[in-house]
Structure 1
Amino acid sequence: MPAIAFLECSRCHAHVSAETPQTLCPVCPDSPAGILYVRYDFSALAGTRPDDVIARDTAGVPWSGMWRYRSVLPDVPPVTLGEGWTPMLHSKRYAGVWLKEEGTNPTGTFKARGLGLAVTLAHHYGITKIAIPSAGNAAGALAAYAAAAGIEAHIFMPADVPFANYVEAIAYGAKVTLVNGLISDCARIVSERKEQEGWFDISTLKEPFRVEGKKTMGYELVEQLGWQYPDAVFYPTGGGVGMIGMWKAFEELEELGWVKPGRRPRMIAVQSTGCAPVARAFEQGASVSEAWRDAATFASGLRVPKPYGDAIILDIVRKSEGTALALTDEQILASILDWARNEGIFLSPEGAAATAAYDHLLQTGFLKPEDKVVLFNTGAGLKYTDVTAEAMKLSRPTAEPAMK
């Protein structure tokens, strides 16, 4: 496997050693500091084909998880719960649509990828306490992997997160604090207390390895489509780590020669009208977003008032000739019910934002029916039972009397 050559700042391009734990760029001359990308020495993989280097078990069968890509991940023993290699489901109604079903991951969401790899490296470095602010799903994933690694987890979540997120974090033994506020308020608490408490901050884009876990989504979707790019990728965008990770995967795939030459997918950043800082910045032609005031949407993973990587997300969307757009909660709910009743798939609200966005861009002519697109359902709909029921104005009915 290739060694990590260095960590590279996304802004000033300084090279930083990966021998010790790192957060943001320590030498960046400007504020906010740039995020750090993991860069590898791929010389050992020169001339290889992906089938030559995909990890296999003792019987020679390819691993059915994200660690099948160990050849492009850090060379450390993984803390794994079987994350990755999620289904690519072909729509029954739309010939050009594939749904990447991330709800089959451990803890039911795509967060298992990023947190699984971040906790793996924390364990490798000997870190004993980690902290995270979360809109919900990252909390459950961090709690699970921290439990598997024997690391103490401190989690800060908005008080109105889906109840499943709170229950699973408590069940895994994490130390959970509910905050009357948004994920930005939770992030402030972690930032203010981490040095005194001895926590390693594993917040979105505040360390290099969550991106590495999320980039496996890019490798997977390309492999599952026969090592070819789709025409577009729809990604529900809260913090945006998955989009940043997939774009990094596409860069690496081209460097390795594992994909056929051609235009990369158009990247579609999808948000809710109740919290749409990236979509608004895209529409205004801005290079960064402004913090969204009074964020409110039942798609809790999209309720991120100002993503730390907003400039990178906007750059990716524009370079790929994609777009950023926001859907109302009513449109999101309608798409949840549409896909449940017509495709047999119970989407998360974030995933339903992507399916609703596809319908919209098809109607406007931005995409054609024959375009091959991948829509990300980032979590299992069952994790959102309480908030989805509330959006449906659904309550438990009175039971009929049992027959005598």
Structure 2
Amino acid sequence: MPAIAYLECVRCHHHVSAVTPQTLCPLCAGSLYVRYDMDELKRTARRDEIVPRAAASGASLGMWRYANVLPSGTPEKPVQPVTLGEGWTPILRSKRYPGLFIKEEGANPTGTFKARGLGLAVTMAKHYGLQHLAVPSAGNAAGALAAYAAAAGIAAHIFMPQDVPFANYLEGIVYGADVTMVNGLISDCARMVGENIKAQKDANTPANEVWFDISTLKEPFRVEGKKTMGYELVEQLGWTYPDAVFYPTGGGVGLIGMWKAFEEMEQLGWVTGKRPRMYALQATGCAPVARAYDEGKDASEFFQNAATFAAGLRVPKPYGDAIILDIVRQSGGEAIASTDEDILKSILDWAKHEGIFLSPEGAAATAAYDALLASGDLKPTDKVVLFNTGAGLKYTDMTAEAMHLRRPGTLPTRMPVGGIITPQ
């Protein structure tokens, strides 16, 4: 596992030491990326060691199979992963479209891709000795933080909109987090986290009691966890790039992390060829990135009256919007928004014809894929990796409501079973 050379601001490229925990660039408040000594990595990080190491452990090692490109700490104080088995999720070939693969992130702990970023961020928080972590969340990041903080013995303080899927609220409570439900959007939750931290500092709260903001792109390690999706999809495709990657985009850290992974793999000589076109998929009820893309802008504007049942896409102003837009345009991809009606149709279509219960966010990607096939901008033979970022079962209440589906009648208090299991 490599030592961190420095943290680099994505905006002004200022270098910051990683010896102590960092949030944003002290000069311009840009997001910080973890940088390694790539010359040293070329000598020590070999892709042909990944499979033997995983085999020797008796398991895939999840995302930690890529330990040689993840932070290590120092010889005196090595990083000890806080892991629940995240990563190395299945990549499923579509039954209908010959070039399409589904990366099933619902197989992660807590049922979404958020386990990757929060797993690594909590690992580093424990390494630094942090005791209180705070996050504003559209739902799934809250559940992942609650789980990993519990595993690490760290206090989690969660702020999320009161209309998130019920599973997200239940996760926070079950894992023992401090949960605050907010009558508003994730932007309101972020404001409240910031106000709490400021109040703690103003009150001269002991440093180890002050919350550390682990928000999207406001610390450097969630990107490091999310980048493992890029390493995985390339390895699972035989160390080759697909033609395109379709990624549901709320905060957009997964898309950003994968682009960082592609850059690293190319420097290491692990992959060659043209990088995939990156598609950022949103819902029309909250589409700040798609709107900015359509208008040719370099950054998004706050999306007023955001409303969609794809809760993870309800991010009215992503912190990394400029990074996302730059990646999409560099790659030759697009940012596309689909209606809630089309998202629901896609959930039902994929469940019936492919046996996959998509999350609403994942269905925003399949809906856009179908639209591009219909327009001729994509061919069924184009090699596309499409991310289902979470398990559909985490959204049973939201999806049932969108379908106008209610539990049938009054169930009997005792149901006869009969047959070989128990007597009737």
TM-score for the superposition, normalised by structure 2: 0.92
The offset of 1:54, in angstroms, is 5.6
Contact 1:266 1:321 in 2 (8 A): yes
**What SS does structure 2 have at the residue aligned with 1:56?**
helix
Amino acid at match of 1:82: G
Residue 359 of structure 1: which of 363, 370, 373 is its match? Answer: 370
**Corresponding position: 1:95 with 2:79:** no
Alpha-carbon distance in 2 for matches of 1:94, 1:53: 30
**Corresponding position: 1:111 with 2:122:** no
Alpha-carbon distance in 2 for matches of 1:247, 1:11: 16
- Give the aligned partner of residue 46 of structure 1: 42
**Corresponding position: 1:247 with 2:250:** no
Amino acid at match of 2:363: A
The offset of 1:195, in angstroms, is 3.5
The offset of 1:55, in angstroms, is 7.3
The offset of 1:152, in angstroms, is 0.5
Residue 207 of structure 1: which of 212, 219, 229 is its match? Answer: 219
TM-score for the superposition, normalised by structure 1: 0.96
Alpha-carbon distance in 1 for matches of 2:217, 2:275: 23
Amino acid at match of 1:213: G
Q: Aligned ranges for residues 167-316 of structure 1 at < 5 Å?
A: 167-197=170-200, 198-260=210-272, 262-316=273-327
Alpha-carbon distance in 1 for matches of 2:252, 2:411: 47
- Give the aligned partner of residue 22 of structure 2: 22
**What SS does structure 2 have at the residue aligned with 1:5?**
strand
Alpha-carbon distance in 2 for matches of 1:196, 1:80: 32
The offset of 1:61, in angstroms, is 4.9
**Corresponding position: 1:152 with 2:149:** no
Amino acid at match of 2:282: Q
Alpha-carbon distance in 2 for matches of 1:233, 1:123: 33
- More off after superposition, 36-45 vs 173-182: 36-45
Note closer, same or farther for the CA distance 1:295–1:61 as it changes in structure 2 (3 Å cut): same
Contact 1:54 1:71 in 2 (8 A): no
Contact 1:54 1:70 in 2 (8 A): no
The offset of 1:43, in angstroms, is 2.5
Q: Aligned ranges for residues 126-145 of structure 1 at < 5 Å?
A: 126-145=129-148
Amino acid at match of 2:220: P
Amino acid at match of 1:68: R
Alpha-carbon distance in 2 for matches of 1:263, 1:345: 30
The offset of 1:194, in angstroms, is 1.2
Residue 334 of structure 1: which of 340, 345, 366 is its match? Answer: 345
The offset of 1:368, in angstroms, is 1.3
The offset of 1:14, in angstroms, is 0.5
Alpha-carbon distance in 2 for matches of 1:55, 1:324: 39
Alpha-carbon distance in 2 for matches of 1:25, 1:287: 20
Contact 1:7 1:16 in 2 (8 A): yes
Alpha-carbon distance in 1 for matches of 2:401, 2:304: 23
**What is the RMSD of the two structures over their aligned residues, measured on CA atoms?**
1.5
Alpha-carbon distance in 2 for matches of 1:98, 1:246: 16
The offset of 1:171, in angstroms, is 0.2
The offset of 1:398, in angstroms, is 1.2
1:219-257 CA-partner distances (Å, limit 9, x unpaired)? 000000000000000000000000000000000000000
Alpha-carbon distance in 2 for matches of 1:246, 1:303: 21
**What SS does structure 1 have at the residue aligned with 2:92?**
strand
**What SS does structure 2 have at the residue aligned with 1:166?**
helix
**What SS does structure 2 have at the residue aligned with 1:247?**
helix
Alpha-carbon distance in 2 for matches of 1:152, 1:86: 28
Contact 2:139 2:312 in 1 (8 A): yes
Residue 166 of structure 2: which of 148, 163, 167 is its match? Answer: 163
Contact 2:54 2:65 in 1 (8 A): no
Amino acid at match of 2:216: T
- Give the aligned partner of residue 68 of structure 1: 65
- Report % sequence identity: 75
Note closer, same or farther for the CA distance 1:74–1:54 as it changes in structure 2 (3 Å cut): farther
- More off after superposition, 50-59 vs 346-355: 50-59
- Give the aligned partner of residue 75 of structure 2: none
- Give the aligned partner of residue 2 of structure 1: 2
Alpha-carbon distance in 1 for matches of 2:171, 2:401: 21
The structure with the largest alpha-carbon Rg is 2
Amino acid at match of 2:351: A
Alpha-carbon distance in 2 for matches of 1:281, 1:58: 46
Contact 1:105 1:112 in 2 (8 A): yes
Amino acid at match of 2:67: R
- Give the aligned partner of residue 371 of structure 1: 382
Alpha-carbon distance in 1 for matches of 2:56, 2:383: 35
